[in-house]
Structure 1
Amino acid sequence: MRKLSLKPANIITISTKITEYENTILDVIADECNLTKSKLIKIAITKLIEEIIQNDTRNIIQSRLISGYNIVFNTIKEDSKITLDKCISRIRGSAPI
């Protein structure tokens, strides 16, 4: 199998269809957290990738990536975690008691 390289500086647009329900939820969260829907989706994708890689006990995914991917991913993951934590704190702070 060919190894795939990571180029974190390259931005790729991914287009997908979501339901009106999902869009409304994203709008509300984005508004409350002062984020864009794109940023929220990037955080969700990062969490998805993190979960899959952590459970990749046979190293199927990792074996296809170049060495050093984990350094890049850990940086992305940490940035997402900080943003997510701030968002959750903001929502908890604005929640009625």
Structure 2
Amino acid sequence: MGSLSSLSLCWIRAWIGFFYLIRKAGDIYLLLVEPPGTLRKYGEKGSWAIINGVEDVLGAEYTLTLASHGFNTLLLSHTQSKLETLTQDFNSRCSGVQTKVLVTDPSNT
């Protein structure tokens, strides 16, 4: 009888986790497709956004979306060359915003 109740508890936890992931995926989707002006609840034009993990496709698109909405960006990464390449790309696509880079390596602490 005890294994049946623990199995039910596992299923409940699995469903809660599933709905949490769906909600977060929806939040990311809405952030990427929201029309300009709707991100103002996160800050005014010219505010700074700190983005970590910009080397992958999702991080780069997230950064580009924020920059296209007028947010200045601070990019964190482990690789200086990747950051410089992405900064040039963002500056060519979105004029009027500042992009700064910071190379971080937690193994050197």
TM-score with structure 2 setting the length: 0.28
Which one has the largest radius of gyration? 2
TM-score with structure 1 setting the length: 0.30
Q: State the structure with bigger RCO (CA 8 A, min sep 6), 1 or 2.
A: 1
